[in-house]
Structure 1
Amino acid sequence: MHKLLRRGKTLTTLSEETEDWQKQSRDSSLTREEARNQLAISYGFFSWRQMEVHVLLQNQEFDDFLYLSCLTYCPTDRPGLRERAREMLLEDPSLAERDIHHAAAVGNTSVVVKLLDSDPKLVSQRGGFFDWEPLLYTCYSRLNLAENSTFDVAKVLLERGADANSHYMWGGQYRFTALTGAFGEGEMGPSNQPEHQRCIDLAKLLLEAGADPNDGQTLYNRMFEPGQYWIELLLEHGLNSKHTVNWLDEDGEQLVPSKECILDYQLRWAIEKGHIERARLLIGAGANVAATNRFGDSYFTIAFKRGDLEFAEELATLGSHRQKLPEVEQFIAVCMSGNVHEARALLEGNPNLVEQAENEFADTVGRAAGEGNLTGLKVFHALGFNLNKMQGQTPLHQAVLGGHLDNVKWLVEIGCDLGIRDDVHGSTPLQWAFALGRDECRDFLSQFELDLFDSILCDRTVRIKEIVESESSALERTLKEMRATQYSFEDDWMTPLVFAMTRERVEATKCLLKLGANREITAPSGETLADLVRNKAPKEIADLW
């Protein structure tokens, strides 16, 4: 059993805990380094360095080659980091030979072989920026260099005795294995967190070398996008209905093993999100179709509410309880199914159903947008639902989140507001598209008349000039003033110039400076804009100061 590392813990507080740990130890010879590692282990990490990296990566980036080369599953994961790593390697080719961890990330097979020949123990030695074993750097690297092969390095490492179940504990709670790295993807989408370039080959290699097919993090990371080949592959290698989720659950201040069946967890998600073929695969593999969600809804009910009426009937025949729904939920389900005629018939019997649905189930339209249900969206629109309604975010935000370009196009076509900012991140749908790597949605939304901050994000200098020349005060308007919400955000203080600089938009920064943007700005932390430029801005922007 491990302690829960609460978000917000700092290295300062952890260092203070280390001192207390050392004082309370019965071993008077315990060194500070040993105490730090023991504390980290109590939080579920393998070393102090792994815990230190986890804490640091929650809100900052590093100019380290291995950090830039690999997926981190932190908010900083972006394709641009991998590009910076490639540039570093061009400038300094010796990085590929620095040690076995660098060679593994680069895919330099000859160097890996040479190093292992001289010291076989290196095959399992942790090190590098993340304090990982070499196999993890190989599987999480996304450099994708044409002249090198991380797949070939993985073969060598496994042949020389690397553990196919090598892993680290993200946050001390989630088991990120070599297999997890091979399959990739996750909450930030396949553009930001892509699978390994030889994903299937590498996954098979690891599984045949003994990797545990019950890889809960792989199944979690891949469940957001359509498809199921990874489940089929894991089932072929032994994944079954007796396997439980292999991450740790929170129990107060402790972390305890989960008791939930991993296939049941996956089945519930598949039905909730309309991945019907995946759901059938999981049911065939032994997932419990008679289960309910935490609200007591049977899988029949979940599918029915989504508008998957035929599949709901199929689930009922397989053993899912056919629950009776209130009239308003039946109405929503019919709308979601796309049957506008039946929906109108229900509405004729009860003209208050639209108002009741919007009041009691405010996320209904957003759910349809996020699930790619364009047919359902059109029914909601035809019946008078508000498609700009904010429920934390708008349906347009949700459509971008799901990467549903058709939904995004249609919502814009009917006049949905591009400038509304959500309550969670304070961002527009376009900003969501940038953050989530939804490139098609980003490119589509970028072509419209955007507000100043979105225009900066797109480096559209002509549009920036148009806005400022028509309203000079826009130069000093902060993000806080753009947000029609009671919530506060860390970047509320930012003016257009600060926003352009922190987003590394060179042309936009040049344009704003020429238009007379104020440079004498101070952040809430006390840092001036000049300090921020000096400490954090890329050279192209720093040179403008």
Structure 2
Amino acid sequence: MDDEGRSGGGAADEVGAFLDLACLTYADDGPERWAEAAALLVAHPDLPTRDVHVAAAVGDLTSLRALLRADPGLADARRPDGRTPLMCLAYARVPQDDPYGSARLLLDAGADPDAGVLLGGQAPPFTVLTGCFGEGEQGPGRQPRHPQGEALAALLLERGAEPADGQTLYDRMFSRDDSHLRLLLAHGLGRGDGGVWRRRLGERQDTPARMVALQVDWARDHGLTDRAALLAAHGFTEGAPDERPSPWRLRGDVPAVARVGTPVGVRAFAAAGGDLDAKVHGRTLLHHAAWLGDVELVAALLEVGADPQVLDDDHAATPLGWAEWGCAPVTADLLRPITP
């Protein structure tokens, strides 16, 4: 047996290939990779019985139980890239038999609910919670939430996971959905000392208070009124201080549409004569909403006259192109009939 679970040699190569394809990497994610992982599992159906990380990634409770019975230390075994079985479960985007039961079994066996890795050596860490909540710079279509992400996250938080998860807050800040914030705030986000990762990383890791202040700034800057209200209801109304501002603050000569983030805001902005097609960072709000798969926001923009044929500056692509690249089929379907 080696540190990768239970197998060596060629079996270890198959295990590594499967996990690299099945789990979010935050480098080259997308449905085609998960389809390859599924095909690899069909070709090697015994992989979950041979390796604890694969068993966790597919939520195979029976195989997990047998492997842990033989070696309880496997509950927190780390692969060469640092991933634990619980991380593989949270980051996998292949069909899983019983992810919740498997997560509970691993936690009962001593798995660390705060396990994580520093991608590229950079803070904040990508933790188990980060994998549950999903999303990120490639968008929710290519880096989706775990199908049972909220239930898994609630279990982790109940078992002591630190709610001040900076990578989750970053990955989920681009869209309007606040379900992650409601759960994290209910478990103490913004309070306390930051837990194990703050102790490990020191000043490289933001304090919980600063993490929330950055969210306040983002919500205000981007017109996310529901998010601002949610944070205020928990007592968070102050953004980052001027001497250490948010790295994402909208400053300088930025088009006003950059601060419009909701369907209600879009309609009010259009009624006031605002330019809906002005580009922010080289793309329009319609590009952004299409990529996110935000059907309500796309529909509102089209309703008040946003142009679906505008090309972005970097890729010369329409909003439809962004939706298709972002694996957002519903917004793509809205845009396809009106995009030459």
**Which TM class, normalised by the smaller chain length?**
0.7 to 0.9
Which of 41, 45, 50 in structure 2 is aligned with 1:93? 45
TM-score normalised over the length of structure 2:
0.78
Letter in 2 for 1:289: E
Alignment-derived partner of residue 406 in structure 1: 299
Aligned amino acid, residue 143 of structure 2: Q
Instruction: Tell me the equivalent position of 2:179.
Output: 229
Kindly provide the amino acid, as one letter, of the partner of residue 114 in structure 1: A
Pairwise CA distance, 1:365: 3.7
Q: Would you say the 8 A contact 1:241–1:286 is kept in 2?
A: no
Please say if 1:189 is aligned against 2:139: yes
Q: Choose the corresponding residue for 1:172, options 92, 97, 121.
A: 121
The 10-residue stretch of structure 1 (233-242 or 162-171) with the greater mean CA deviation from structure 2: 233-242
Number of corresponding residues: 312
Please report how far the alpha carbon of residue 391 of structure 1 lies from its aligned counterpart in structure 2 after TM superposition.
6.2
Q: Which amino acid aligns with 2:38?
A: R
Correspondence 1:435 to 2:325: yes
**What residue number does 1:80 align with?**
32
**1:68 alignment counterpart:** 21
Cα distance in 1 between the residues matched to 2:177 and 2:333: 25
Q: Secondary structure at the match of 1:185?
A: coil
Distance change in 2, residues 1:417/1:139 (3 Å): closer
1:331-346 equivalences under 5 Å are none
Q: What does 1:265-276 align with in structure 2 at a 5 Å threshold? A: 265-276=214-225
SS in structure 1 of the partner of residue 118 of structure 2: strand
- Superposition deviation, residue 199 in structure 1: 1.9
Give the C-alpha shift of residue 136 in structure 1: 0.6
Matches within 5 A, 1:16-415: 64-74=17-27, 76-127=28-79, 130-145=81-96, 148-173=97-122, 174-243=124-193, 256-258=204-206, 261-289=210-238, 361=253, 363-365=255-257, 367-368=259-260, 371-372=262-263, 373-379=265-271, 382=273, 385=275, 387=277, 392-401=282-291, 403=294, 404-410=297-303
CA shift digits 1:324-375 (9 cap, x unpaired): xxxxxxxxxxxxxxxxxxxxxxxxxxxxxxxxxxxx845224554x654331
Q: Structure 2 counterpart of 1:363, which letter?
A: P
Query: Which one has more relative contact order, counting CA pairs under 8 Å at least 6 apart?
Result: 2
Structure with larger Rg = 1
CA displacement at 1:189 relative to structure 2: 2.8
AA matched with 2:134: G
Q: Measured at CA, do residues 188 and 407 of structure 1 come closer, stay the same or move farther in structure 2, by a change above 3 Å?
A: farther
Q: Distance in 2 between matches of 1:289 and 1:442?
A: 37
Are the equivalent residues in 2 in contact too, given 1:390–1:422 (CA < 8 A)? no
Structure 1 residues 242, 273: CA separation in 2 closer, same or farther (over 3 Å shift)?
Answer: farther
Q: CA deviation at 1:168?
A: 0.9
Structure 1 residues 399 and 161: alpha-carbon distance in aligned structure 2, compared to 1, 3 A threshold: closer
Deviations 1:245-270 (A, max 9, x none): 9989xxxxxx8343562221222222
CA change 1:281–1:115 in 2 (3 A) is same
Q: Is the 8 A contact 2:267 2:300 kept in 1?
A: no
Question: What amino acid is aligned across from residue 51 of structure 2 in structure 1?
Answer: D
In 1, the alpha carbon distance for the partners of 2:188 and 2:148 equals 22
**Contact conserved, 1:244 with 1:261, CA < 8 A, in 2?**
no
Contact 2:126/2:167 (<8 A) preserved: yes
Runs of 4+ in structure 1 deviating by more than 4 angstroms, as ranges, are 242-248, 290-297, 388-391
Secondary structure (helix, strand or coil) at the match of 1:93 reads: coil
Contact 2:221–2:259 under 8 Å retained in 1: no
**Displacement after TM superposition at 1:137 (Å):** 0.4
| CA displacement at 1:161 relative to structure 2 | 1.0
Report the RMSD for the aligned CA atoms in angstroms.
Answer: 3.4
Q: AA paired with 1:234?
A: L
The Cα shift of 1:178 comes to: 1.0
Cα-to-partner distance string for 1:460-515 (whole Å, 9 max, x where unaligned): xxxxxxxxxxxxxxxxxxxxxxxxxxxxxxxxxxxxxxxxxxxxxxxxxxxxxxxx
- Residues 439, 288 of structure 1: alpha-carbon distance in 2 compared, 3 angstrom cutoff: same
The superposition leaves residues 424-461 of structure 1 with CA deviations (integer Å, 9 ceiling, x where unpaired) of 344332221122233222122223463xxxxxxxxxxx
Q: Which runs of 5+ in 2 are unaligned?
A: 1-15
